[in-house]
Chains A and B, each alone.
Chain A
Amino acid sequence: MDLAYTSGQREFREEVRAWLAEHVPPEPLPSLDTAEGFELHREWERTLNSGNWGMVTWPVEYGGRGCDLIEWLIFEEEYYRAEAPLRVSQNGIFLLGPTLMEFGDDEQKSRFLPPMAAGDEIWAQAWSEPNAGSDMAAIRASATRVADGGRDHYVLEGQKIWSSRAVFADWGFGIFRTDSESKRHRGLSFILFPLDADGITVRPIRQLDGDPGFAEIFFDGARVPATNRLGEEGQGWQIAMATAGFERGLMLRSPARFQKTAERLVALYRQEAGSVSPEIRSRVLQAYLDAEAYCLNTYYTASRIMAGGTIGSEASCNKIFWSELDRNMHRTALAIIGARAELRGGTQDSVDDGRWLDGYMFSLAGPIYAGTNEIQRNIIAERCLGMPKG
């Protein structure tokens, strides 16, 4: 076990730190769930890309730096240390990007990866439907193939829901039923579509915080080229499961995010220390320890992956751990803030400009998205621990 960073890794860290110090906006950007904030975050993606920092783990040929997982973790640590803006391109770069690299053909990769990395095309994920959330195999949205002398296309019908930022994004990726006779997880295909196509209507859904962070997407005869399909017809479920694996795994929620929150929580505690009960103090301490445990587990896992291991259903443990940690930390912060907890950012006397409140609301979504924690526990019990399906 060698827990020292190499000199190369330390140099990399310094390089990231220096670049971010020069480029991170001095003030936090408006929420990326607003029209103005979305575009400002897109601009930030372009800035990152100009320094070739947009997608460090991608191969160089696709706009990345070919960084390994440890370098990724170092990058994230510096990123959160610098309080850089959230990644509005996250659905694309963390979910679709790796999926494209694994299942896309060369034309698809060269068409979609560069503008994704550049922030020119921001992606929304179109997975859930009103009748198909945790039970994703119940999806009904269809893609009917229409032959057209070698320029076949799909006609999309149906509805998707809970698509984050779809009202502002450029493109979407979703699962559609291409075999009308099929049931459940069979006969599904993974299809990419421009959100501004004819026959596609995006309707914003207002979230708890008042912003249109969600959307419904209605497909009413929208046509996309058949070449927008990733992988084979009927392979959609398999590809979606791979994407879900990326979602649960190391990329989407790196430990630095939670270690940063834990540091802020300790600082908040210290600010108010005189009036805080021992019980809350011990929750602050536990949160800090858990954030560190998450970091250690991630490095432990990353080391194994880099040595050729794979991350399987234990990724579900990860998801449960970070989402519950995040909620605990924010709940503890509200307990410290007390009577001012309900104040929105921008209001006089709001603590840290309402960030803890915003963070608490977002933390309530954590146990829900990327596969609910109930589903994750089922997965752990069935696939890691051998329990029979119910």
Chain B
Amino acid sequence: MDFRFGSDEMDLRDGAREFLRGRYTAESLRALVGRRAEDTGGWAELVEMGFAGFLVPESRGGLGMSTEAFALVAEEAGYVACPEPLVDVAGVVAPVLADLEHEAVAQIAAGELRVLSAHVQNPYVSQIVDSDAVLQFMDNEVRLIRGENLRRETADSIDPLRRLYRIDALDSETLATGQRAQALAAQALFRGAVYTSAELLGLAAAMIDMTIKYALERRQFGAAIGSFQAVKHALATAFTKLEFARPVVYRAAASLAQDDERAKLRAAHAKVAASDAGMHAAETAIQIHGAIGYTFEADLHLWMKRVWALAGLWGDRNHHLRILDRTILAEGAELGPAATFNMERTRKRS
């Protein structure tokens, strides 16, 4: 029983952190706003670091790393409000295509192809560029839609770094139907939920750090506002909420490698905890920033808006609370410590 990351996982985290914080500065994000630039070049760099194939087995050209290590990388992406569809491509799509042993997996890992996800729970696909394909998870079918067969209509997100599209297919390749399709869609949902939760942890941490910096610099009544107890307490409360969401997300990431009913529950808990921590951190941040936090010019809004968007993705609060409610409050539910670490063995997906 050891609830820690391995040293190689931490090394990957550190590598991701160094790259992402260097590449995606607040200035670089602001430069993207309003440009509606479609290809920032950042994706190619992520591919070069191997992140597109992070979860793809080495035999198919990927890094073959663990789900919990990817959660750490997703958290780092969230910290810098990275606009690249890393969770989508590497976290959700690539593992499913690897499971289906589809040829596209190696292409994704090599950076020759980018495949985004569409899911019945998510009304829009984000970040499509012309060459991208879409793996669509529908009620009874999983299908691959190549770029040339994709039709799309833009929708406007308040998050200026998210380009949203409603999609339609002129033609597609059916990869699974019936029960298999449903199972894949469910898996996609809880992977998306867990990794998005990890992004939300990163976003929350970044907003808290921004707010700390602001509270130390901003002076009123002859003192830094961070010296006022009301400000301290608000920060401490947001920090505590984040600290207690963190292990829930990591736990859920670890359990993605298991193919069981509890993985779904853990994903649901993670999404609720991380979304709540993210929303709370955003509200605390804007309150402490005061009026300047309400501007387009300050960086804060970019992080807040990402939280607002991600909180609703891969199953909103309502969706996941219903899953938890149905299980935990059901007759004969297994509860308490026995259910927390339920005689689990870590069994990595091959």
Q: Which residues from chain A sit less than 8 Å from chain B, CB to CB?
A: 1-6, 9, 70, 77, 81, 255-256, 259-260, 262-263, 266, 269-270, 273, 281-282, 284-285, 288-290, 292-297, 299-300, 302-304, 306-307, 314, 316-317, 320-321, 374, 376-378, 380-382, 384-390
- B residues 270-306 with Cβ under 8 Å of A? 272-273
In the bound complex, what is the Cα–Cα distance between A262 and B335 (angstroms)?
9
A-B pairs, 9 with minimum CB distance: A381-B232, A377-B236, A380-B236, A296-B247, A387-B226, A300-B247, A303-B3, A77-B337, A317-B240
Chain B residues, CB < 8 A from A374: 229, 233
| A385 lies within 8 A of B235 (CB) | yes
Partner of A388, one of B1, B226, B321, B341: B226
Chain A residue numbers with a CB within 8 Å of B227 are: 387-390
| Contact A285 B328, CB 8 Å, known A2-B346, A386-B216 | yes
Whether A296 and B325, one on each chain, are in contact in the complex, defined by CB atoms closer than 8 angstroms, is no
On chain B, the residues within 8 Å of A300 by CB distance are 3-4, 246-247, 250
A-B contact pairs, 28 of them (CB 8 A): A1-B66, A2-B346, A3-B344, A4-B343, A4-B344, A5-B1, A70-B1, A77-B337, A81-B337, A262-B336, A263-B336, A266-B333, A269-B329, A285-B321, A285-B325, A289-B272, A293-B273, A297-B246, A299-B1, A317-B243, A382-B232, A385-B208, A387-B215, A387-B226, A387-B227, A388-B224, A390-B227, A390-B229
Kindly state the separation between the CA atoms of A302 and B328 in the bound complex, as whole angstroms: 26
Cβ-based interface call for B248 (8 A): yes
Whether B239 sits at the interface, judged by CB under 8 Å, is yes
* CA gap between A388 and B344 in the complex, in Å: 45
- How far apart are the CA atoms of A324 and B85 in the complex, in Å? 38
- Whether the Cβ atoms of B329 and A4 lie closer than 8 Å is no
The interface residues of chain B lying within 8 Å CB-to-CB of A381 are: 226, 231-233, 235-236
Chain B interface, number of residues (Cβ within 8 angstroms): 55
Contact A299–B247 (Cβ < 8 Å): yes
Report the bound CA distance from A269 to B233 in whole Å.
33
Closest residue to B208 on the A side, CB-wise? A385
Complex Cα spacing A4 to B254, Å: 11
Cβ of B324 within 8 Å of any chain A Cβ, yes or no, is yes
> Taking CB as reference atom, which chain B residue is nearest A304?
B4
A3-B251, A77-B337, A303-B3 known; A266 vs B328 contact (CB < 8 Å): yes
- Asked whether, in the complex, the Cβ of B3 is within 8 Å of the Cβ of A3, the reply is yes
Interface string of B6-29 (1 = CB under 8 A from A): 100000000000000000000000
Is chain B's interface secondary structure helix, strand, loop, or mixed overall? Answer: helix
The residue from B2, B229, B244, B251 contacting A378, defined by CB atoms under 8 A apart: B229
**Contact status A1-B245, CB under 8 Å:** no
Would A270 and B331 count as touching, CB distance under 8 A?
A: yes
Q: Is the CB of A1 within 8 A of B247?
A: no
Asked if B232 contacts A317 (CB within 8 A), the reply is: no
B67 to chain A, nearest CB (A): 9
CA distance A58 to B1 in the complex (A): 21
**Chain A residues near B246 (CB, 8 Å)?**
297, 300
- Contact yes or no, B336 A5, CB < 8 A: no
Contacts of B244 in A (CB 8 A): 290, 293-294, 297, 317, 321
What chain B residues lie within 8 Å of A295 (beta carbons)? 337, 340
Q: Is B199 an interface residue (CB 8 A)?
A: no
State how many angstroms separate the Cβ of B329 from the closest Cβ of chain A. Answer: 6
B212, B237, B345: the one contacting A387 at CB < 8 Å is B212
- CB-CB under 8 A from A2, the residues of chain B are 1-2, 346
Chain A residues closer than 8 Å to B88, beta-carbon distance: none
Residues of B within 8 A of A255 (CB): 337
Chain A residue, CB-CB nearest to B273: A293
Q: How far, in whole Å, are A384 and B238 apart by their CA atoms in the complex?
A: 13
Partner of B340 from A259, A281, A388 at Cβ < 8 Å: A259
Other-chain residue from A3, A269, A273, A385 in contact with B236 (beta carbon distance below 8 A): A385
